[in-house]
Every structure is written in structure tokens, then in C-alpha cells.
A = this chain, B = another copy of it.
Amino acid sequence: MTRGKTFNKLREKERQLRREIILDAAECVFASTPFSQVSMRRIAKEAGISAASIYTYFPDQESLFLESYLRRTKDIVAILKKISDEHGAGLLEKMTLAYISYITKQDVYSTMVAHFMLYSNLNMESVEKLNSIEQAVLDCFETAIIKSKVIGNTRLFAHALFASLNGIFITFHNYPGRKGEDVLRHMKRLALIMCNLFVPVDNHHP
């Protein structure tokens, strides 16, 4: 039955690829449409399939959304992890700016944060998944904080910094009157202020 198993593996692989295509489409729609207009039909259209087909790969809308969000967050974690593995001064600044850049570039991310905040009808398993990925992000920030020789409850500091950066984004990314570049500059400026409060400039050049 080796041949049979190989066939099955291939089939499973194809299935995974098709899932990815749907997830790609979902992100694309999330990124280009106001959240209220994101629907199974739109995502299906973007993926070039019928809405009914989505249900071959995801049990329901919530699962699709969650998985899409998790994939994005894993992306962030990978980026932050890489930075936290580095050494030298300005590590936390670098991470902070990377985080702000990412969530600005990928509107999907913040839209989904807000979504899961507003419609938290998630089952326990989903909540667990969300929690563990959030812990992973926090781990990265904490590592950077520790490496910056900050003294105190570093986990709490990581919480505070992480929350602050989210807040900066949410509060100002729709700042009326200004647009694009300006908003990003403002957010980065605020982010650096936060960052430097945690790691006084003294520590950067000891």
C-alpha cells in the first residue's frame, strides 16, 4: 500500500495548498475592503471558486477568519523572533519599529484584532490558540527588553509596551486630516517615545 499512501499524501498536500489559496484570498479581501463588507461570497470570488467550496476546507466563517489571523500573526512572530535573536544596542527600538511597520502595512492584522475584540464568540479552543500566539509575541518583546538590560518586572514591561503599540496604531491610524506617510511617521515617533521610556538613552550607549 506504499503507493496508496503516497497518493494520499499528495492529495493531502494539494488540499493544504487549496486551503492556502483560500486564506490568501481572505487576507486580500480583508486588506482591501472595509470589514463590514468582507463576506464568504467575496472571499470565494477573490479565490476564483464558489462560496460553497469554502466549506470543503473550513467548517465555518469564524474558523476561516481565525486561521487567517493566526497565519498573519505567525508571520509577525517570525519577524520579531529574528530581531530578538540579534545582539547590540537599539534592539528594542528596532523591534518596535518593525512591529509598527508590519501592522501598518498589513491592515488585515489590526482589523482582525478589532474583530476578535468585538465579536468574541469564540470557542475555548480558538481562545487558546489566540492566547498562545499572543504569548509568543510577548516573549519576543520581553527578550528584547531583557537584552536591553532593563531592570524590573520585564514581563509586565512587555505587556505594557505591546499594548501601547497596539493602542498607538488603533488610536491614530485613521487620524483625520493627515494621510499615509504622515500618519506612519507620527506613529513611529510615538512608538519610539514609548520605547525610550522603557530603555533610557543612557542604556543605549553605556
Contacts and interface: CB of A to CB of B under 8 A. Distances in A.
A170 B113 contact: yes
Interface string A156-168: 1101101111111
Interface stretch (A10-18, A68-76, A127-135): A127-135
A198 interface: yes
Contacts of A34: 118-121
Given A114-B114, A118-B115, A160-B164, A170 B170 contact: yes
Interface stretch (A1-9, A44-52, A90-98, A188-196): A188-196
Interface in A97-145: 111, 113-121, 127-128, 130-131
A156 B198 CA distance: 16
Nearest to A122: B176
Contact of A163 (B119, B131, B167): B167
Interface of A: 34-36, 111, 113-121, 127-128, 130-131, 156-157, 159-160, 162-174, 176-177, 186, 189-190, 193-194, 197-198
23 contacts: A34-B119, A34-B120, A35-B118, A113-B170, A114-B114, A115-B118, A116-B174, A117-B170, A117-B174, A130-B176, A156-B189, A159-B172, A159-B190, A160-B193, A163-B164, A163-B168, A163-B171, A163-B190, A164-B164, A164-B194, A167-B169, A170-B170, A197-B198
